[in-house]
A = this chain, B = another copy of it.
């Protein structure tokens, strides 16, 4: 009944004659459009499970299988989509770490930069860091893991601080850096999953308060 989906629309009507999109060497162009559309939808709905391949295809103005010409599967599409912005995060952290001031000051700027980055792009942050690395992208990640690059910045900063006598670290710098990363990651995660706003009649710290509390705690922990 009311069967508008089964109408053949085969080879006579052709109101929208497919999509006029071509140019020989320019398949990469469509690839970028797909990534843009994915990123947009991801930030609109917040989680990749809520973004369907059909929705991406529709936004781009293309059919679903066309996406699979450029990306092996949904996981790869979303990983590539998020990784584009990783350059931005790495850059911000490296800028913050390389700026002027004491190691502690620079470390504080790094922490704030990380937290603000995560909170600024919830969908992408949770897609990148919130769940297991999907099997189909795991081999790729091993060579170029986003989180690992962040970790590197912190490790070097800690080493510098210890060498300068500014920081104390009775554990290996890598272990301490992991702990610092964990604190920042956990804070972003708690805020993005709304774990701090479920109970309206309990006063809860704002995002800014959480950021400064986490940064304070971590830095105090290293200067003790």
| Chain A residues in the interface with B (C-beta under 8 A) | 46-47, 49, 126, 129-133, 138, 141-142, 145, 147-148, 170-172, 174-176, 178-187, 189-190, 192-196, 198-200, 202-205, 209-210, 212-214, 216-224
How far is B178's CA from A189's CA once the two chains are assembled, in angstroms?
12
The answer to whether B175 and A179 touch across the interface, beta carbons within 8 angstroms, is no
Min CB distance, A79 to chain B, in Å? 13
Pick 20 A–B contacts, CB within 8 A, sort by A. Answer: A47-B131, A130-B131, A131-B193, A138-B198, A142-B198, A145-B198, A145-B199, A170-B216, A171-B212, A174-B203, A176-B213, A178-B187, A178-B214, A179-B210, A179-B216, A182-B183, A182-B187, A183-B186, A183-B214, A185-B190
Min distance, Cβ A75 to any Cβ of chain B, angstroms: 12
B179 touches A213 (CB 8 A): yes
Q: Out of B179, B181, B190, which one reaches A178, CB within 8 Å?
A: B190
Besides A171-B213, A185-B186, 19 new A-B residue pairs in contact (Cβ under 8 A), listed by A number: A126-B131, A133-B198, A145-B199, A148-B198, A171-B209, A171-B216, A174-B203, A174-B205, A175-B205, A176-B217, A182-B186, A183-B183, A184-B186, A217-B218, A220-B220, A220-B221, A221-B221, A221-B224, A224-B224
Closest to A147 in B: B195
| Cβ–Cβ < 8 Å partners of A186 in chain B | 181-187, 189
A182 touches B133 (CB 8 A): no
Closest Cβ of chain B to A158, distance in Å, is: 11
